[in-house]
Chain A
Amino acid sequence: MGKTNYKQLKGSQSFRQRLLLSTLSRKAITIKEIRADETIPGLRTHEMSLLRLFETVCDDGVVEVNETGTQLKYKPGTIMGGKNLVHNCALSRSIGYYVEPLLVLGLFAKKPLSIRLKGITNDPRDPSVDTIRSTTLHILKRFGVPSEGLELKIEARGVAPNGGGEVLLTVPNVPKLTSVEWMDEGMVKRIRGQTFSAKVSVDFEHSMRYAARGIFNNLLPDVHIFQSHVSGLEAGKSPGYGISLVAETNSGCYISADTTVSLGRIEETEELDAEEKPERKPAADTGDEVASWLLQEVEKGGVVDSTHQGLLFTLCALCQQDVSKVRVGTLAPYAVETLRNIKEFLEVTFDIKPDPSTGTVILTCVGSGLPNLNRKLS
Chain B
Amino acid sequence: PLKEKGRKKNPNLKQLVYGASGSSATAVVDENHESSDDDEGDGEDFFMPKGEQSKNLGGGSDVGYANSEDCSKFVNYGKLKDWKEKKVCESIRNRFTTGNWDEAGLRNK
Interface residues of A (CB under 8 A from B): 11-17, 96-97, 100, 124-127, 183-185, 187-189, 214-215, 218-221, 250, 267-269, 289, 291-293, 295-296, 298-301, 305-308, 310-311, 329-334, 336-337, 339-340, 343, 349-354, 356-361
Contacts and interface: CB of A to CB of B under 8 A. Distances in A.
B2 A359 contact: yes
For chain B, what secondary structure do more than half of its interface residues adopt (helix, strand, loop), or is it mixed? loop
A188 B95 contact: yes
A349 B92 CA distance: 33
B44 interface: no
Interface string B52-79: 0000000000011101111111110100
A332 B77 CA distance: 11
B107 A358 contact: yes
B18 A339 contact: yes
A14 B68 CA distance: 8
Contact of A296 (B4, B31, B68, B80): B80
B75 A124 contact: yes
Given A214-B84, A219-B98, A293-B80, 5 more contacts: A13-B68, A292-B80, A331-B13, A340-B25, A358-B1
A337 B104 CA distance: 31
B71 A218 contact: no
B65 A125 contact: yes
Query: What 6 A-B pairs come out closest when comparing CB atoms?
Result: A359-B1, A306-B74, A333-B29, A218-B89, A352-B13, A352-B14
Contacts of B75: 124
A333 B63 contact: no
Given A293-B77, A356-B2, A215 B108 contact: no
A296 B97 contact: no
Interface residues of B, number: 52
Contacts of A334: 71-72, 74
B64 A307 contact: no
Contact of A13 (B7, B70, B73, B94): B70
A300 B46 CA distance: 15
Contacts of A329: 1
Given A187-B97, A299-B95, A330 B13 contact: no
10 contacts: A11-B68, A12-B70, A127-B72, A127-B73, A185-B107, A289-B80, A298-B95, A352-B14, A356-B2, A361-B13
Contact of B17 (A187, A268, A340, A360): A340
Given A269-B63, A352-B14, A354-B2, A250 B73 contact: no
Nearest to A291: B83
A289 B84 CA distance: 11
B1 A187 contact: no
Contacts of B68: 11-13
A9 to B, nearest CB: 12
A215 B72 contact: no
Contact of B72 (A126, A188, A221, A292): A126
Nearest to A50: B70
Given A187-B99, A330-B35, A349-B18, A292 B81 contact: yes
B86 interface: yes
A307 B18 contact: no
A301 B89 CA distance: 15
Given A15-B70, A356-B7, A359-B2, A189 B97 contact: yes
A317 to B, nearest CB: 13
A188 B71 contact: no
A330 B63 contact: no
A107 to B, nearest CB: 17
Given A268-B64, A296-B80, A360 B35 contact: no
A16 B2 CA distance: 29
Contacts of A269: 63
